Homo-oligomer: A and B are copies of this chain.
Amino acid sequence: MILLLGASGYIGNAFAHCLAQRGWEFSAVSRKQVDYTRFPRLLELLKQTRPEFLINAAGYTGKPNVDACEIARADTLDGNALFPERIAHACLVTGTPWGHVSSGCIFSGAKIIQDGQTRVEKDLTQADCRAVIERSPESVQGFTEVDSPNFSFRDPPCSFYSGSKALGEEAIHGFGDRYIWRLRIPFDEFDNSRNYLSKLQRYRKVYENVNSVSHRFDFVNAALDLWHVKAPFGIYNMTNPGFVTTRQVVEMIERIRKPARAFEYWQNDEEFYKTAAKTPRSNCVMDTSKLLSTGIAMRPVHQALDAALKNWKSE
């Protein structure tokens, strides 16, 4: 039996769906049934039910967006750092392998290859950086699993959310049998306030940037596959291979969904942060070679975005 924590959330919901689809026996315990956020209850639950695998899809993301985490600091730290540590300890003590939904948002920017040199450009919003991407996409590389987070409390500035997620990875590092599945900017074909494509279609103005993004069901299926094929435990970047600029996604929306509205862009970072956002946002490119080397596929990012927009299901 697989024990699923956080089944009511956006990502947990997709896990429940995919587990059911695969016919895998699982138990989606709710906090009302058992308050698994308390260490003694969680330990008891693991001892009683002896799951073969645990999935932590619970976390604190902030509503309506990550700015809310700047206010709800205790809940953010508890949900994203102290709670994962609790799970790691309970799993170690009971010998339970597990997987944790982490986030690529602990990185900012990309690696730029220029004149044979690789340098990290933390701020991809700069016009010169966009120019590099437009001229030669092959000159842009993503962060790998051995790179240290560069959008974290140890490498500021960062948002409180990102800081807490990086701290959560640290807290569960170096012991136990567990996957760290790094998601980024989830999207799929189902209109939802958490769906990147829904957000883009609803924003008054759009924020131009470069990102690796994760199709929600591609992500969940790849996570389950890692466990299924007994891939080595560890960290995995799990975005759809490649990256996209916001402009590219907007053009796909215009071409495929033919919205009545015209898209407007924030003039620059200054206008965006002054008007629409309080805390710095992570925008980054992830390297997915490690995942792909296990033989587990996620569709290339342009293909996954194209399919989601063509199969769009309104709420």
Are the C-beta atoms of A38 and B74 separated by less than 8 Å? no
Q: A196-234 interface mask toward B, CB cutoff 8 Å, 1 = contact, 0 = none? A: 000000000000000000000000000000000000000
- Interface assignment of A28: CB less than 8 Å from any CB of chain B: no
In the complex, are the beta carbons of A152 and B92 less than 8 A apart? no
- Which residues of A in the span 47-93 have a Cβ within 8 Å of any Cβ on B? 73-74, 77-78, 81-82, 85-86, 88-90, 92-93
Copies of this protein in the assembly total 2
Nearest chain-B residue to A88 (Cβ)? B39
Instruction: Kindly list chain B residues whose C-beta atoms are within 8 Å of the C-beta of A86.
Output: 85, 89
With both chains docked as a complex, state the minimum distance between the C-beta of A71 and any C-beta of chain B, in angstroms: 8
Q: Is A174 an interface residue (CB 8 A)?
A: yes
Which of A163-171, A241-249, A266-274 interfaces with chain B? A163-171
A153 at the interface (CB under 8 A from B): yes
| A153 CB contact (under 8 Å) in B39, B74, B90, B93 | B74
Which residues of A does B touch, CB under 8 Å?
A: 38-40, 43, 73-74, 77-78, 81-82, 85-86, 88-90, 92-93, 152-154, 156, 163, 166-167, 170-171, 174-175
